[in-house]
Amino acid sequence: MKKITVVIVNYNVKHYLEQCLISLREALEGLDGEVVVVDNCSKDGSVEYIREHFEEVRVIDNTHNLGFARANNLAIRQTESEYVLLLNPDTFVEANTLKEALSFMDAHPKAGGVGVQMLKYDGTKAMESRRGLPTPMVAFYKMCGLCERFPKSRRFGRYYMSYLPWDEPARIDVISGAFCLLRREALDKVGLLDEDFFMYGEDIDLSYRVLKGGYENWYLPLKILHYKGESTEKSSYKYVHVFYEAMLIFFRKHYAHASVFMSLPIKFAIYGKALCALIEMNVKRIRKSLGFAKYRQRETPLYVFMGTESSLTQCKKITEKHGLTAEYHIADEQSAPEGHLTLSLPEGQPVYVVYDTKAFSYASILDIFSRRPVEKRVLMGTFCPQTNKLITAEEVLR
């Protein structure tokens, strides 16, 4: 039996998936593990591309989009391993992330699942890294704004458990499906992901069942990058329908017994949120079609490249091909351990700091971005010499 199976559900994000798989090669080194990619009928050539460039990866090529839960279950049922990691394709992991997470699970037999510290591409910590169960009251505090107003309150801030320290392991209620390491023994006991959820909500439901099965869920301060939603159009009607329908499914499944005085406000809040989202989308589209929406020209970003001389030569070809404004710095994690933090970056202009992954490890890149003061205008990018691709959250350039 293998130690770990990594399951990745892919839908039309082959270049982000490629970067994820490259990071996994290093993270799985020395481990008895396997990677299974379940492709949900992508139209971007993902299946052919992954089979050609990653012979060690097993690909399940679905003829229809089965959704997140069903696709993951398909791979889980076809594999045998002590642990299963559900991982999003628009992520990359540090070299030691899997080893340290598995060591923790081995040392804590009551741990049914483990989540990690997810960083956004601007270096900020994703609140979804630690979450509480959305009980009727917790959901109410979130929807009425008390959670945001009092984040450090153990009562009002429980939705994101934002009162917990970021740099220490902690027991949590809900593990994000973007990185969810599970003990197969726990899965055998509580069951796999609920396929009534097409997308969203299945991680909350599974986490709850793991807790009810007598296991613990943990947060570990191990870093990954989550671009978040590269395969999802969050301004679409489909997103609004699927997201809020998932909330209703969870509520009906676990809190159908709640009193009418408790359940009605929650249901009204869910329907109200969905309605407001749809109205806002329609208003924006109508204003745009009538010419009322102001046209805002996108600010020209500066691309700051840091890496080896050979990689910077390739990066320069990319910038010239696409007409990008750029500057170049020969550096690696030994000569420049602080990375771009020592540079004087222009104020007010969006900046992509693009790190050469040959000169800077994924761990170094994440560490540098997580240590800097939050600046929404300074965003993370990577250049991989193996693929000759520049990747940011918004684009893939070659």
Cα 289-230-248 angle, rounded to 5 deg: 80
| pLDDT at residue 239 is higher than 80 | no
198-222: buried (b, 16+ CB within 10 Å) or exposed (e) per residue? bbbbbbbbbbbbbbeeebbbbbbeb
Dihedral, 182, 185, 191, 197 alpha carbons, nearest 10: 10
Ordered structural domains, the chain, with CATH: 2-226 (3.90.550.10), 237-290 (no CATH), 302-397 (3.40.50)
Report which listed range, 134-138, 155-159, 255-259, 274-278, is most confident: 155-159
pLDDT at 298: 64
Q: Round to whole Å and give the CA distance between 346 and 300.
A: 12
Query: Alpha carbon of 283 to those of 239, 279, 295, 310: distances in Å?
Result: 17, 6, 16, 49
* Helix (H/G/I), strand (E/B), else coil: 74: helix
Query: Alpha carbon of 103 to those of 30, 114, 170, 189, 215: distances in Å?
Result: 13, 11, 16, 22, 17
Q: Which two tokens stand for residue 173?
A: 């209620």
Helices 46-53/14-27 angle, 10° precision: 30
Contacts of 158 (CB under 8 A, 6+ apart): 132, 138, 141, 147
For the segment 27-51, what is each residue's pLDDT rounded down to a tens digit? 999 999 999 999 999 999 999 999 9
For the segment 305-351, what is each residue's pLDDT rounded down to a tens digit? 999 999 999 999 999 999 999 999 999 999 999 999 999 998 888 99
pLDDT at 191: 97
Q: Round to whole Å and give the CA distance between 208 and 242.
A: 20
